[in-house]
């Protein structure tokens, strides 16, 4: 199988697994224990904090390990909601992941928080004018803008948004789960207060994440108990996974420093060049100059994505329609709707996301599979927007 769904998750890097294994075998002790064996474990956790911090130009003490990206997002929003007084407005964008949008809905109901969802332009980038208006409001408490979108890969103007937030005394968070490890993220340069990370998007295992909490920034945790992570996230640490997250951060930092994932971008561009030149009725979505290196969001006129996915799976290619969370649902995603992509076009789009393990050969095989699947669907559907999708498999 050819795996082109790396925005959904990535395979664990072999060096990451190698780094983790001793912490599932020999070094299984509780890092908080007092004996020497536990010290080894504690030291490994400290190294992981250093490695994750280095990837985003933070200090190790500014990194709080969590159980996943969703927890990181929820924990920051929960803390901010707990701080609401006469300031009770949270500004976010219309294209955030459900780990932000649904949590905002929940605190809006439970904590009487006002949520402003700022729109994006046709290229999928945050409308900064609207954002500025929103953070200027006197009751604005916090802004949360994702660094890169999970469906389109479009990198958001987080620098500009953070500066606007700062100018108006508004706390700034970014869900950088689709950006960290894929594109340079420098928390110092941007001047951000909180940032969310998830390991499984960059070759660490699933079920581990982190929050960057700027030094000096007040923060109260979601989980309260034994005081691990400097009291900012209680619960005995998932040591092996945290070690894996650290190792993955180290690997990705080296690659980003070396060439900014130029090899991955080259593959993505090759894929796009071939599908747009060898097939008609193909559109690449999202501002091309602002995307993470690995992501292609593409619409094929006259084909429903659900049918394409089934055929591509049969031809040995795994990818996604919209985002993984949307698979199986027949509505256009909120991201595509916010970008003004028509419902028909939205339903005919795929997300192809490469990784450092993708190869040129795989890319070429995937192009042929896409051509075959699109040809087949168009022949049974009779052209753009005509008739129901019927998927004939087996030949
Ligand atoms: C932008 C974004 N935020 C949050 C999440 C949730 O992360 P996790 O799966 O680690 O909970 C994802 C995962 O798809 C994501 O893409």
| 392 inside domain | no
Q: Are residues 217 and 343 in the same domain?
A: no
In this structure, is residue 22 part of a structural domain? yes
Residue 4 within any structural domain of the chain: no
- Is the distance from the beta carbon of residue 339 to the nearest atom of ligand 1 less than 6 Å? no
Asked if residue 97 has its Cβ within 6 Å of ligand 1, the reply is: yes
Which mutation among 146, 150, 244, 333 tests ligand 1's pocket best, with the greatest number of atoms within 8 A of CB?
A: 150
Q: Which atom of ligand 1 is nearest to the CA of 9?
A: 14
Residue 205 or 388, more confident: 205
- Domain-ending residue, one of 237, 256, 275: 256
Pair 312, 230 in one domain = no
Q: Do 51 and 190 fall into the same domain?
A: yes
204 lines ligand 1 (CB under 6 A): no
Do 285 and 348 have their domain in common? Answer: yes
Assigned domain for 130 exists:
yes
CATH code of 98's domain? 3.40.640.10
Q: Are residues 360 and 240 in the same domain?
A: no
Catalytic residues: 325
Q: How close is the Cα of 390 to the center of ligand 1, in Å? A: 32
- Last residue of some domain: 256, 277, 293? 256
Tokens read off for 82: 């707990």
Residues 252 and 265 in one domain: no
Top-confidence residue, 191 or 395: 191
Share of the chain above pLDDT 70, in %: 94
Tell me: do 357 and 211 sit in the same domain. Answer: no
pLDDT of residue 328: 56
Q: Are 225 and 113 within one domain? A: yes
Q: How many domains does the chain have?
A: 2
> What whole-number distance in Å separates Cα of residue 120 and Cα of residue 275?
26
Q: Which of 232-241, 291-300, 316-325 has the lowest mean pLDDT?
A: 316-325
pLDDT band at 390; cut points 50, 70, 90: very low
pLDDT over 70 at 126, yes or no: yes
Pocket test for ligand 1, best of 76, 77, 99 (most atoms within 8 A of CB): 99
CATH of the domain at 327: 3.90.1150.10
Indicate whether 190 and 289 sit together in one domain.
Answer: no
In a domain, 172, yes or no: yes
Last residue of a domain, one of 239, 256, 273: 256
CA atoms of 284 and 375, how far apart (whole Å) = 18
Residues 6 or more apart whose CB falls under 8 angstroms from that of 378 comprise: 302, 303
Distance from residue 69's CA to the centre of ligand 1 (Å): 5
pLDDT at 199 over 50: yes
Please indicate whether residue 70, judged by its CB atom, sits closer than 6 Å to ligand 1: yes
The CA–CA distances, whole Å, from 316 to 10, 24, 55, 275, 282 equal 17, 34, 34, 17, 21
Task: Assess if residue 225 is contained within a domain.
Answer: yes
Pairing outcome for strands 63-66 and 2-3: unpaired
- Report whether 130 contacts 181 (CB < 8 A): no
Residue 43 has pLDDT above 80, yes or no: yes
Task: Calculate how far, in angstroms, residue 93's C-alpha sits from the geometric centre of ligand 1.
Answer: 15
Based on the domain organization, do 234 and 160 belong to the same domain?
A: yes
Does the C-beta of 173 come closer than 6 Å to ligand 1? Answer: no
Q: Let me know whether 181 and 208 are in one domain.
A: yes
Nearest Cα to Cα of residue 334 among 164, 136, 198, 146: 146
Residues 305 and 165 in one domain: no
* Percent share of the chain, pLDDT over 90: 91
Q: Is the CB of 307 under 6 A from ligand 1?
A: no
Within a domain: 24: yes
Sign of CA dihedral 149, 154, 159, 164: negative
Which structural domain, as residue segments, surrounds residue 274? 261-381
User: Is 198 part of a structural domain of the chain?
Assistant: yes
Q: Is 175 in the pocket of ligand 1 (CB under 6 A)?
A: yes
Taking CA atoms only, the protein residue closest to ligand 1 atom 13 is 8
Query: Which one is predicted more confidently, 385 or 152?
Result: 152
Higher-pLDDT residue of 380 and 67 is 67
3-state secondary structure (DSSP) of residue 241:
helix
């Amino acid at each position: 199988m050819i795996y082109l769904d790396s925005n959904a998750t990535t395979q664990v890097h072999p060096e990451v697994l190698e780094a983790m294994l001793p912490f599932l075998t020999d070094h299984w002790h509780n890092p908080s224990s007092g004996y020497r064996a536990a010290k080894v474990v504690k030291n490994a956790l400290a190294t992981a904090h250093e490695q994750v911090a280095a990837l985003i130009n933070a200090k190790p003490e500014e990194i709080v390990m969590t159980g996943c990206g969703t927890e990181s997002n929820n924990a920051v929003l929960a803390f901010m909601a707990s701080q609401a007084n006469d300031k009770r407005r949270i500004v976010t964008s219309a294209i955030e992941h459900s780990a932000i949008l649904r949590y905002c809905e929940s605190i809006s109901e439970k904590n009487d928080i006002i949520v402003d969802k700022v729109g994006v332009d046709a290229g999928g980038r945050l409308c900064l004018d609207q954002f500025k208006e929103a953070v200027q409001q006197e009751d604005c408490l916090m802004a949360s803008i994702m660094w890169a979108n999970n469906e389109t890969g479009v990198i958001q103007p987080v620098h500009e948004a953070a500066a606007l937030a700062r100018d108006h005394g508004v706390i700034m968070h970014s869900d950088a789960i689709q950006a960290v490890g894929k594109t340079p993220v420098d928390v110092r340069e941007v001047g951000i207060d909180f940032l969310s990370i998830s390991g499984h998007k960059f070759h660490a295992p699933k079920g581990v994440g982190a929050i960057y909490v700027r030094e000096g920034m007040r923060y109260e945790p979601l989980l309260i108990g034994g005081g691990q992570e400097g009291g900012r996230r209680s619960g005995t640490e998932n040591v092996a996974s945290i070690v894996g997250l650290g190792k993955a951060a180290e690997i990705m930092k080296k690659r980003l420093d070396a060439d900014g994932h130029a090899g991955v971008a080259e593959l993505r561009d090759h894929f796009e060049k071939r599908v747009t030149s060898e097939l008609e009725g193909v559109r690449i979505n999202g501002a091309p100059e602002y995307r993470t290196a690995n992501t292609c969001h593409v619409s094929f006129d006259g084909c429903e994505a659900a049918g394409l996915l089934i055929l591509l799976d049969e031809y040995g290619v795994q990818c996604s329609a919209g985002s993984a969370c949307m698979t199986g649902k027949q509505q256009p995603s909120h991201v595509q709707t916010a970008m003004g992509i028509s419902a028909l076009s939205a339903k005919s789009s795929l997300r192809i996301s490469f990784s450092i393990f993708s190869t040129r050969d795989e890319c070429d095989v995937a192009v042929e599979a896409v051509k075959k699947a699109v040809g087949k669907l168009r022949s049974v559907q009779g052209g753009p927007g005509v008739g129901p999708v019927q998927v004939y498999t087996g030949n």
